[in-house]
Amino acid sequence: MKIAIAGASGRMGRMLIETVLNDPEATLVGALGRADSPQLGRDAGAFLGKETGVALTDDIERVFAQADYLIDFTRPEGTMVHLEAALRHNVKLVIGTTGFDNAQKAQLRAAGEKIAIMAAGNMSVGVNVTLKLLEFAARHFAAGYDIEIIEAHHRHKVDAPSGTALMMGEVIADALGRNLDECAVYGREGVTGERDPSTIGFSAIRGGDIVGDHTVLFAGIGERIEITHKSASRLSYAQGALRAVRFLAGHPTGFFDMQDVLGLR
In tens, the pLDDT along 197-211 reads: 999 999 999 999 999
Is 187 a residue whose pLDDT tops 90? no
E-assigned strand segments in 86-197: 92-95, 116-119, 146-153, 184-186
| pLDDT reported for residue 190 | 95
Confidence at 151, pLDDT banded by 50, 70, 90 = very high
- 79 shares its domain with 15: yes
- 130 shares its domain with 227: yes
- 157 shares its domain with 196: yes
- 6 shares its domain with 115: yes
Pairing of strands 184-186, 146-153: unpaired
CATH number for the domain harbouring residue 190? 3.30.360.10
Share the mean pLDDT of the chain.
Answer: 95
Degrees, nearest 5: CA angle 190-195-199: 115
Is 47 a residue whose pLDDT tops 90? yes
Residues 212-234 have a mean pLDDT of 96
Residues 112-138 have a mean pLDDT of 95
- 113 shares its domain with 131: no
Which residue among 82, 153, 214, 229 is the active-site one?
153
Is 227 a residue whose pLDDT tops 90? yes
- How many CA atoms does the CB half-sphere of 120 hold within 13 Å? 26
Q: Which helix (H) or strand (E) holds 69?
A: strand 69-72
- Tell me the torsion sign for CA atoms 204, 235, 170, 195: negative
- 13 shares its domain with 111: yes
- 250 shares its domain with 225: no
Total count of domains within the chain: 2
- pLDDT tens-digit map of 51-68: 999 999 999 999 999 999
CATH number for the domain harbouring residue 34? 3.40.50.720
Confidence at 234, pLDDT banded by 50, 70, 90 = confident
- 13 shares its domain with 60: yes
| pLDDT reported for residue 59 | 96
Amino acid identity, position 228: T
| pLDDT reported for residue 197 | 95
- 249 shares its domain with 207: no
Task: Report how far residue 149's alpha carbon sits from residue 146's, in angstroms, rounded to the nearest whole number.
Answer: 10
| pLDDT reported for residue 121 | 85
Distances (CA, A) of 38 to 33, 56, 193: 9, 10, 50
Q: Which helix (H) or strand (E) holds 204?
A: strand 200-206
Is the CB of residue 164 less than 8 Å from the CB of residue 127? yes
Residues 9-29 have a mean pLDDT of 96
Residues 237-255 have a mean pLDDT of 96
Is 153 a residue whose pLDDT tops 90? yes
- pLDDT tens-digit map of 83-99: 999 999 999 999 999 88
> Annotated catalytic, 157?
yes
> Annotated catalytic, 89?
no
Is the CB of residue 148 less than 8 Å from the CB of residue 217? yes
Domain range for residue 209?
125-231
Note if the bond before 38 is cis, omega within 30 degrees.
no
Is 223 a residue whose pLDDT tops 90? yes
Which residue among 157, 229, 230, 251 is the active-site one?
157
Confidence at 265, pLDDT banded by 50, 70, 90 = confident
Share of the chain above pLDDT 70, in %: 100
Find, among 160, 161, 139, 129, the residue nearest to 229 by Cα: 129
Q: Which helix (H) or strand (E) holds 241?
A: helix 235-248
- 102 shares its domain with 199: no
Query: Which has more confidence, 71 or 11?
Result: 71
Residues 6+ apart with CB under 8 A from 32: 4, 5, 6, 7, 8, 56, 57, 58, 60, 63, 70, 82
- 168 shares its domain with 225: yes
Q: Which helix (H) or strand (E) holds 29?
A: strand 27-32
Query: At residue 261, what are phi and psi to the nearest 5 degrees?
Result: -60, -40
| pLDDT reported for residue 191 | 96
- 15 shares its domain with 110: yes
Distances (CA, A) of 122 to 94, 96, 239, 252: 11, 7, 11, 23
| pLDDT reported for residue 120 | 93
